[in-house]
């Protein structure tokens, strides 16, 4: 969440940031709450002063041997007034805290202006899309149907937007996860973690999914718990409520999980194939870093995700999300978009974000500077490294052959037991 002290001291700057986001921040309502809160605190101090004066008067009367009953009665009334004022002030503090939970992060100065995805500038383009001269490109769900991508049985088992993978495709999914994990561990020095797929509402609150995005989550009936929408949630919360030594920073984790999303509001979009499923595999990168280096760390994190696309020889581009398109918790985000020739477009395959101290404040993740006494909030970053289903889709569309077979990217052949080509199931038989 935002720093309440900063908001109180710089309300116009916060309002300007929200305007860049196209977020309807009610500055007047916040200022009214603050004015009421200050008035209550002033009233409390005045009542306390009156109580101190009355207490001194009681002591004086008693020393003189007089009856202080009437003053004592007034003291009781003052104490009741102070208690009531404090309760009202606590209620206002709670209202401010609830308001803050619904306010997104302030876009960084280098986040470009814009209203939506159409305003996202391209930072760089890497690789040249394949020229299909002998046959037209095909969408991945059509290529995959002959290789073991079974949407019909996925729907039979679980409903729409679930799939079953058989044979070579099931092995390709496993190979991709292992390849991504090994690359990030060996080449980028991440520590692998395996986390639960069910998290508490407190964990989702810490990373910013709750309360705003409850409709996007799968809730466990009868419990304050949910299926994870991304490994960002459990991995970031590993250090919730902790104070890390400065020497531990930067700290990077990599985690492979299944992810579960209701896809609320996306009906009719990408209903076929592997692009927008309710359950999908993903390898996630999470970093805890020093505030002074977080934007250099964002560039590094983005390069780590790009390394997977480069190793798989998949064309892609990097775009900087504009202020109107960045996620709720993010201050700055780069999207990696892989080329899908069957769709004749680039599609998102990773978002790499710097949340600054937004998540750390919600989850209370701090570090202690060396030689210093006062703790400070870490900056958190995360990015997909990569989304496995979308990576499979890109491989199917970019590596398909005229006969429907799909070449295995060279980097994955060792993870596929030496298999170089995925043949259609009929041909295998």
Cite the active site residues.
Answer: 261, 276, 348, 351, 390
Distance of CA 211 to the CA centre of its chain: 13
Spatial distance between the Cα atoms of 90 and 161, rounded to a whole number of angstroms = 46
Smallest CA-to-CA distance from 383 within 302, 276, 306, 310 is with 302
Q: What is the dihedral of CA 303, 309, 311, 314, to 10 degrees?
A: -140
CB under 8 A, 24+ apart: contacts of 11-16: 13/106, 14/103, 14/106
DSSP one-letter code for 367? E
> H helices then E strands: how many in the chain?
13, 17
Q: Could you please report the per-residue DSSP string of 262-292? A: --TT-TTSS-STTSS-SEEEEEEEEEEE-GG
Contacts of 260 (CB under 8 A, 6+ apart): 197, 217, 218, 227, 228, 229, 278, 279
Backbone angles phi and psi of 214, in degrees to 5:
-60, -35
């Amino acid at each position: 969440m935002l720093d309440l002290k900063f908001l109180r001291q710089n309300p116009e700057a916060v309002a300007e940031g929200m305007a860049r986001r196209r977020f309807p921040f009610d500055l007047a309502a916040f200022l009214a709450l603050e004015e009421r809160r200050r008035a209550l605190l002033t009233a409390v101090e005045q009542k306390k002063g009156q109580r101190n004066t009355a207490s001194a008067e009681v002591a004086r009367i008693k020393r003189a041997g007089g009856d202080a009953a009437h003053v004592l009665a007034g003291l009781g009334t003052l104490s009741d007034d102070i208690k009531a004022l404090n309760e009202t002030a606590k209620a206002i503090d709670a209202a401010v805290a609830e308001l803050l939970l619904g306010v997104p992060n302030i876009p960084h100065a280098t986040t470009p202006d814009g209203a939506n995805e159409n305003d996202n500038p391209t930072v760089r383009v890497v690789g040249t899309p394949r020229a299909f001269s002998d046959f037209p490109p095909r969408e991945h769900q059509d290529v995959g149907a002959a290789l073991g991508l079974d949407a019909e049985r996925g729907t039979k088992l679980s409903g729409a937007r679930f799939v079953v993978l058989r044979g070579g495709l099931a092995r390709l999914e496993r190979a991709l996860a292992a390849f991504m994990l090994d690359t990030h561990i060996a080449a980028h020095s991440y520590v692998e973690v395996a986390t639960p797929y069910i998290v508490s509402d407190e964990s989702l609150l810490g990373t910013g999914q709750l309360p705003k995005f409850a409709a996007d989550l799968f809730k466990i009936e009868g419990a304050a718990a949910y299926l994870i929408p991304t490994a960002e949630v459990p991995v970031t919360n590993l250090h919730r409520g902790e104070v890390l030594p400065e020497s531990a920073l930067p700290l990077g984790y990599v985690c492979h999980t299944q992810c579960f999303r209701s896809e609320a509001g996306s009906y009719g979009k990408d209903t076929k194939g592997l692009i927008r499923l309710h359950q999908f595999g993903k390898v996630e990168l999470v970093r805890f870093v020093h505030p002074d280096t977080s934007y250099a760390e964002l560039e590094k994190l983005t390069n780590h995700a790009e390394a997977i696309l480069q190793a798989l020889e998949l064309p892609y581009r990097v775009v900087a999300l504009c202020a109107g398109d960045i996620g709720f918790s993010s201050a700055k985000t780069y999207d990696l978009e892989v080329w899908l020739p069957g769709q004749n477009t680039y599609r998102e395959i990773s978002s790499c974000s710097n949340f600054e101290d937004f998540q750390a404040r919600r989850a209370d993740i701090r570090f202690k500077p060396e030689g210093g006494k006062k703790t400070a909030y870490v900056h958190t970053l995360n990015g997909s490294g990569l989304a496995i289903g979308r990576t499979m889709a890109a491989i199917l569309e970019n590596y398909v052959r005229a006969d429907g077979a799909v070449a295995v990217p060279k980097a994955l052949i060792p993870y596929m037991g030496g298999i170089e080509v995925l043949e259609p199931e009929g041909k295998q038989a």
